[in-house]
Structure 1
Amino acid sequence: MSALVIDCPTGLAGDMLLSAFLDLGVPESVVHEPMQSLGLGNAYLFKVEQSDSGGLRGIRLTVSNQEQNPPHRRWVDLRKLISEASLSSSLKANVLNVFCTLAEAEATVHGCSPDQVHFHEIGAIDSLVDVIGVCAAVESLSPGKIYCNAPAVGHGLVKTAHGVLPVPVPAVLELAKRHQVPIRTGEDLPAVELTTPTGIALMAVLANQFHRPSTMEVEGIGVGLGHRLLDRPNLLRLIRIHEASKVEAGWQELVIQEAWIDDATAEELASLAEQLRRAGALDVVHGAVLMKKQRPGTAVIALTTPQQAAALRHVWWRHSPTIGLREREQGRWVLPRRSGTSSTPWGLVRAKQTRRPDGTFTLKWEQDELQRLSSESGLTVAELRERLFLEAHSFVPEEDWRC
């Protein structure tokens, strides 16, 4: 399952978040199409540029207003506009939820009803692009979960349409309180507004957890840059990760089939094992047993799934001399694993990666591959294992996790 991690060391703003989505690979059309559905396709200019902040690269987004007489949109106007647009139901719900969250917070701090709220900056076209664009980007990626660490809010004073306000501004503080969003402040942060009401409202609606996951298997990184010049890189990182299921091990129903045979040659037993594997046996083992009349024999045990049990029974009757077959149901716990290749000094080598309950990974190279490398390199299998442990590099999976 893919998840998103939002890392906001210098705050959370809608344009930085949208920039990070674009840097992660979300097409610009994902933003423009819903804006056109709202009848606002010609109301803005959209400039995306590669840039840097504090020596670190990223995407910086600039949205310019092209409206002749930009209206001061009220929440009631926005709600009607969005509700009547031809957007997907999930996108429409998220966008309405973000603006409703903003309206309720603004109404609380200004002492009025949500329908009376005038979205001064929020109703401006750039903020509309930010909210709709981020919600559309999330829908396009469809992450299973969104994590967000505590955004830095800054400190000091800021000029707004309501005059000079303390940082964090009242709407940000109200949103943090209402939605239990942790925020980070202090004298070690720049004395400016770092997190906007739009940014925190987006996370209040879209984020599932406000902390980083304990382990991250990184699949992609998007970096969104802010416009303000700070004493440190002004950026937001959007990290796409693969998050394995919470089930640390899977339970598997099995069938054990067993026969004791004292009248077959070693060659016939080897052929039987091969036929059982071809029919779907997960494993076949042999063991020495002492049978009746003190005759030495071989216990042949096959491990299979309930679905393949009948097919294996036909193999026993056709390819072995046994006239009886023990069968019992059993189960096992198996850890998640996946096959792939590992880069080594001898080229790509097939291997199997296992995820342990503590979040660590182990890698085991396929025995056939080790034998091949041994014959090619002149090294023993034991020497190869030791060398591979030290010198093998990036594992590239060829399948998703399975149990």
Structure 2
Amino acid sequence: MRTLYFDCFSGISGDMVIGALIDAGADPVQMEEELKKLNMDEEYNLSWGKVVKNGITSTKFDVILTSKSDQTHEHSHSHEQEHSHSHSHSHGQDHSHGHSHSHVHEHNLGLEHNHSHVPHNHHGSRTYKQIVEAINEANFNESVANMSLAIFKKIGEAEGHIHGLPLEKVHFHEVGAVDSIIDIIGAAILIDQLGIESVQSSAIPTGSGHIHIDHGIYPVPAPATLEILKGVPIASNDIRSELATPTGAAIAAVLAGNFGSLPPMTVESIGYGAGTKTFENHPNVLRVIIGATK
């Protein structure tokens, strides 16, 4: 059986998942073409390339919102105040992937966290119902559609529970931002493309400390992330930063059939997906291991 293992020693986010899968040999160009079925491609550009994180060569994946989304950047910055120091390090490394858009990264820092917090009337803000309709109308294959819908439902139910709303009333001003839609559906496309038959994961470290979001200052893990990780083993570490985002947590929680150490397997490919932050003592990457299990 072809198995994908998420080795989340530094947490998990949507863009880290896609970066790691590309690094393991998935085809991002085919993913980019598939995503056009959503009819949202005027709202974003995608980039990917190699960066070095604490000595490990990894792939950094970015969703760069187009000029229509300028408002989003202000909200990203306000969320990211506490991380501005660590981001300046990762921004300095990103030039190594040879793309000409490195200046964009300073506008893109908050996107990994799926907390862009665009205003309710902004085009990047979508309701759960709108996202479901967009996936159903896109004519993805059944596997991609089912994975994507299940991950969005997991996040929608968590957000609804926290805000006291039924699922159909959940307004995804956070997860409905364009970058998160791309991260979730893009991950489903790549997992399907790679022929993955089963998914397993390590326990999920969430980090600690506090984050600034539109409702104020919140503890890490953020309430939505913690709700999503109900029933999932959480790993502890001392890093005062948000390691697991709602999107990353939901991808693991929905897709992984088992959480634990690396299963017995014949390893076929390995990928490292870079996160936005840089830590002093360990690489902020997600490792994926793909291989044959019995």
C-alpha contact 2:272 2:285 (8 A) present in aligned 1: yes
Matched, 1:215 2:278: no
Structure 2 counterpart of 1:124, from 173, 177, 191: 177
When the two chains are superposed, the root-mean-square deviation of aligned CA atoms in Å is: 1.4
CA contact (8 A) 2:124 2:178 kept: no
Counterpart contact for 1:31–1:129, Cα < 8 Å = no
Q: Which residue does 1:48 correspond to in 2?
A: 48
Match among 237, 241, 247 for residue 291 of structure 2: 241
Q: Is 2:205 aligned against 1:152?
A: yes
User: 1:5, 1:212 within 8 Å by CA — same for their partners in 2?
Assistant: no
- Residue identity opposite 1:31 in structure 2: M
| Residues 300-350 of structure 1 deviation map (CA, whole Å, 9 limit, x = unaligned) | xxxxxxxxxxxxxxxxxxxxxxxxxxxxxxxxxxxxxxxxxxxxxxxxxxx
1:268-283 correspondence to structure 2 within 5 Å: none
Alignment coverage as a number of residue pairs = 240
Mapped partners of 1:196, 1:217: distance in 2: 30
**Structure with more strand by fraction:** 1
2:223 to 170, 175, 184: 170
- Look up the SS of the partner of 2:176 in the other structure: coil
The reply to whether residue 138 of structure 1 matches residue 191 of structure 2 is: yes
Higher helix share: 2
SS of the equivalent of 2:235 reads coil
Deviations 1:37-65 (A, max 9, x none): 11012321111111111111100111111
- Residue of structure 1 in register with 2:233 after alignment: 182
* Residue 205 of structure 1: how far off its partner (Å): 1.6
Question: Aligned match of 1:91 in 144, 147, 157?
Answer: 144
CA distance in 1, matches of 2:184, 2:44: 14
Q: Which moved more, 1:79-88 or 1:221-230?
A: 79-88
- Matched ranges for 1:1-400 at <5 A: 1-66=1-66, 68=68, 70-177=123-230, 180-185=231-236, 188-231=237-280, 232-244=282-294
Distance 2:142 2:154 in 1: 18
Amino acid in structure 2 at the alignment position of 1:24? A
- Larger of the two Rg values belongs to structure: 1
Give the TM-score normalised by structure 2. Answer: 0.78
* Alpha-carbon distance between aligned partners in 1 of 2:16 and 2:5, rounded to the nearest angstrom: 14
Q: Give secondary structure in 1 for the equivalent of 2:258.
A: coil
**Other structure's SS at 1:45 match:** strand
Contact kept, 8 Å, 1:120 with 1:161, in 2: the verdict is: no
3-state SS in 1 of match to 2:268: strand
Q: Structure 2 CA distance, aligned partners of 1:227 and 1:144?
A: 29
| Matching residue of 1:361 | none
Distance 1:74 1:168 in 2: 24
Which ranges in structure 1 are unaligned for 5 or more consecutive residues? 245-403
**Counterpart residue identity of residue 239, structure 1:** I
**160-169 or 64-73, which moves further after superposition?**
64-73
- 2:6 is paired with a residue whose SS is strand
Q: Secondary structure at the match of 1:129?
A: helix
Q: Distance in 1 between matches of 2:133 and 2:189?
A: 19
Q: Percent identity among equivalent residues? A: 34
Structure 1 runs (4+) greater than 6 angstroms displaced:
none
Q: CA deviation at 1:156?
A: 1.0
Secondary structure of the equivalent of 1:42?
A: helix
Say whether the 8 Å CA contact 1:152–1:189 is kept in structure 2.
no
Cα displacement string for residues 3-23 of structure 1 (whole angstroms, at most 9, x for unaligned residues): 111101110100001000101
What displacement does 1:216 show? Answer: 3.1
Q: Answer yes or no: is the 8 Å Cα contact 1:22–1:59 preserved in 2.
A: yes
Which structure has more relative contact order (CA 8 Å, sep 6+)? It is 2
Q: Please tell me whether the aligned partners of residues 98 and 131 of structure 1 are also in contact (alpha carbons under 8 angstroms).
A: yes
Go from structure 1 to structure 2 and tell me whether the alpha carbon gap of 1:208 and 1:163 turns closer, same or farther (over 3 Å shift).
Answer: same
AA paired with 1:20? A
Tell me, in whole angstroms, the C-alpha distance in 2 between the residues paired with 1:170 and 1:109.
7
2:39 match: secondary structure: coil
- 2:118 maps to none
2:88 match: none
The answer (yes or no) to whether the contact 2:38–2:135 under 8 Å persists in 1 is yes
In the alignment, which residue of structure 2 is the partner of 1:276?
A: none
C-alpha distance in 2, partners of 1:214/1:105?
29
Amino acid across the alignment from 2:293: E
Q: Is the 8 A contact 2:17 2:273 kept in 1?
A: yes
Query: In 1, are the aligned partners of 2:263 and 2:293 still within 8 Å (CA)?
Result: no
Report the CA distance between 1:33 and its aligned residue: 2.5
Following superposition, the deviation at residue 214 of structure 1 comes to 4.2
Q: State how far apart, in whole Å, the 2-side matches of 1:116 and 1:2 are.
A: 38
Aligned partners of 1:106, 1:209: CA distance in 2, in Å? Answer: 24
Structure 2: distance between partners of 1:237 and 1:14: 13
